[in-house]
Structure 1
Amino acid sequence: MYCCWDLAAEIHGGVIVLNPNDNFVDLKTEKERLSFSTREESLASTQSIPKRGSSSPEEHTSTAMNVAFIAHGYGGLVFVDLLVQRKQEVMNKVYSVAFIDSMHNTQHQTRGDPQIQEWIQKYCREWVSNSKPLDKAVGSLMKVNCPTVSAGTEKYGLAPSCCLHAIFKYLKSMLKAKTTTAFTYSPVATRSSTSKKRDNK
């Protein structure tokens, strides 16, 4: 069975797994793992400390060039927060986002910014747990959002695996559209254009 790494390899991409929900170490669990005494475990039972090198969910999520995000649940809210906080950087580097049962709220989080809302409409798609067949349009009355389609299952926990192939097909088409557009608008130097420039000097 294919996984994210296999599907990403097909479009010559890499995978970075972000887990912005997991930023703290439970001292009780850690002490049990390290076999500390029962007395020490009870003292630490309600304590947790930040993981070294880990930030808040919003700070944890950062981008490189030509990046696509697959954001599930709270990850969607974190991505939209990143988009609001670093609008130009994200718009320049992220070519598409696939939300899965996302907890984001476009209207509330973007504070009515029309540029962000237009970007989300154009470059994002959401798959939601629904009884309709995979990739069939699902109406969303609750929020101003991107196109929304069925994940092919009503079960929230199964949604990511059920729609993964559809998501990578979508991301591949979005990347192709971006690179085609970039190629179309790139000026190409030709012999005739170079000689014309020399003649005009």
Structure 2
Amino acid sequence: IQIPCIQMAMQAHYDVIVLNPNDNFVELKMEKEWKGLLTQNIEPSLKMVQGGSFFSLQNPPKCIPKRCSNTPEEHMDIAFIVHGYGGLVFMDLLVRRRWEVMSKVYAVALIDSEHHVGHQLGSDVQLLAWIKHHCREWVTSPKPLDKPTATVFKKEFPMVSAGTEKYSLAPSSSLQSIFKYFKKALKARTTINFSRMPIVTRSSTKRKQSA
């Protein structure tokens, strides 16, 4: 799923960062730091791992959290394409870091998202208005690709068909459409930003020089 997306992004001259927020643990037999945990000067029968939890040396766990690794929600910084549970993670990011997201993210493509606006965003008017104008979801459907579709539970932003009824095929099936959506959204954002730039005229330049 990732490789076609990355290739298309590179062809469109995007900078690409691939995140794996679910890879948070490492097996002890592969972790060199295990020896360090055994020699820490704390309670002889207990050792602390990242996150503040303790385990018994007599019955050690099979894996421990990686250094500087937290939950998927805490790792998610910027996302343009989110699939399944990734939609829930993105909405969590929007709630926790709204100003960064609202100022930097110009479009979000969700694919069969598991988010829940009512539980995550509540009745926040500002956030609801933002997702309405910056999010679009592609859902598994018997309808042709990009045909409008909606459910009783999800009406917070435009929803269109992913062109397939298979969950695993939805990302690849909707990828071309998603990048067209990004291109249009970026063009609109650029146009708005350009229209807000001050227009320099000869008279305004003279006034600045004489000031």
Give the TM bin, normalised by the shorter chain: 0.7 to 0.9
Contact 1:107 1:144 in 2 (8 A): no
Counterpart of 1:135 in structure 2 is: 146
* CA distance in structure 2 between the partners assigned to 1:150 and 1:53 by the alignment: 38
* CA distance in structure 2 between the partners assigned to 1:154 and 1:174 by the alignment: 26
Contact 1:20 1:61 in 2 (8 A): yes
Counterpart of 1:166 in structure 2 is: 177
Alignment of 1:1-201 (within 5 A): 3-27=4-28, 47-63=62-78, 69-197=80-208
* Per-residue deviation, 1:195: 1.8
CA deviation string 1:111-165 (max 9, x = no partner): 2111101100100000011110000001121134210000000000010010011
* Per-residue deviation, 1:21: 2.2
Structure 1 runs of 4+ with >6 Å offset: none
Contact 1:20 1:75 in 2 (8 A): no
Aligned pair count? Answer: 182
Contact 1:128 1:148 in 2 (8 A): yes
> 2:5 is matched by which residue type in structure 1?
C
> 1:178 is matched by which residue type in structure 2?
R
TM-score by length of 2: 0.78
The unaligned stretches of length 5 or more in structure 2 are 32-58
SS in 2 for 1:92: helix
The unaligned stretches of length 5 or more in structure 1 are 32-42
Cα RMSD after superposing both structures: 2.1
* CA distance in structure 1 between the partners assigned to 2:138 and 2:87 by the alignment: 11
SS in 1 for 2:106: strand
* CA distance in structure 2 between the partners assigned to 1:157 and 1:117 by the alignment: 29
Contact 1:106 1:144 in 2 (8 A): no
> 1:183 is matched by which residue type in structure 2?
F
* Per-residue deviation, 1:83: 0.2
Q: Which has the larger radius of gyration?
A: 2
* CA distance in structure 2 between the partners assigned to 1:27 and 1:181 by the alignment: 52
Identity %: 56
* Per-residue deviation, 1:189: 1.9
* CA distance in structure 1 between the partners assigned to 2:108 and 2:140 by the alignment: 17
Contact 1:107 1:143 in 2 (8 A): no
Contact 1:117 1:145 in 2 (8 A): yes
Mean Cα deviation higher: 49-58 or 128-137? 49-58
* CA distance in structure 2 between the partners assigned to 1:126 and 1:27 by the alignment: 40
> 1:5 is matched by which residue type in structure 2?
I
Q: Which has the higher helix share?
A: 1
